Amino acid sequence: MSARWSRSAALVLAGAVALLASGCGIRGTSVPVDAGAAPSRASCRAPESERAAEGVSRVSVRIYLLCSSQVLSVSRTTRVGDEKTSREPVRIARALLEQLRLPPTAAEAAAGFTTAVADWVEISGPAKDDPDSALRLNRPPEEIRSLGLAQIVCTLADTTVAGDDGKVVLGGPDSQRDPLKAYQCTEEMRRNPMIAVNSGVLVS
């Protein structure tokens, strides 16, 4: 008698569960459901410039930072530099690189921006036999993290440092072993900065 009652109770319980599930519009399934990654909370909306450098010759510049796996431009206020012995393109490149190495401002971080340009990255002018538009990094471009290289290329491409064709010519520190390559900040690179490290074209 108790066994029969137990079977009846089990059937009633199973029916109740099925009824609840159908009432909620939920279909049972034995296959795990992949709902995808959680939506990003980063707005990626560039804030107003809030980082002002001390000194004279302050200018508004645009640099490229990372947000949601892309490189996007933000506005900063900085000084171009007062190195009287450096050529103008080199001074601009160094001032922009300095901004890229800095951590994001509070407003930029809140919007989801980060930087992948390491503190050790430095830049200098062309070597003896380089074209005037060339710049030399203290490591070959291929040894710089691709995300950071994309930031550098896109930031410099928006300035007079780039050639008339918008390309940025970069090389490593050794002019004998590190050939110059031309990099272009394309829409594809901005959407997928991981391609930057392999995007350089040898300069003949």
Q: Could you tell me which of 72, 73, 78, 121 has the C-alpha nearest to residue 101?
A: 121
pTM: 0.75
Give dist(CA 106, CA 43) in Å, integer.
Answer: 14
Give dist(CA 185, CA 160) in Å, integer.
Answer: 14
For residue 189, what are the contacts with CB-CB under 8 A and spacing of at least 6?
71, 150, 153, 154, 195, 196, 199
Q: Spell out the per-residue pLDDT of the chain, length 204, in tens.
A: 444 444 444 444 444 434 334 444 434 444 433 333 334 567 898 876 654 444 445 678 899 999 999 999 999 987 765 544 457 889 999 999 999 999 999 999 999 999 999 999 999 999 999 999 999 999 999 999 999 999 999 999 989 899 889 999 999 999 999 999 999 999 999 999 999 999 999 997
Give dist(CA 33, CA 148) in Å, integer.
Answer: 36
**What pLDDT does 39 receive?**
41
Give dist(CA 122, CA 149) in Å, integer.
Answer: 12
Q: Which residues of 133-158 are buried (b: 16+ CB within 10 A; e: fewer)?
A: bbbbbeebbeebbbbbbbbbbbbbbb
Pairing of strands 167-171, 181-184: antiparallel
Pairing of strands 135-137, 70-79: unpaired
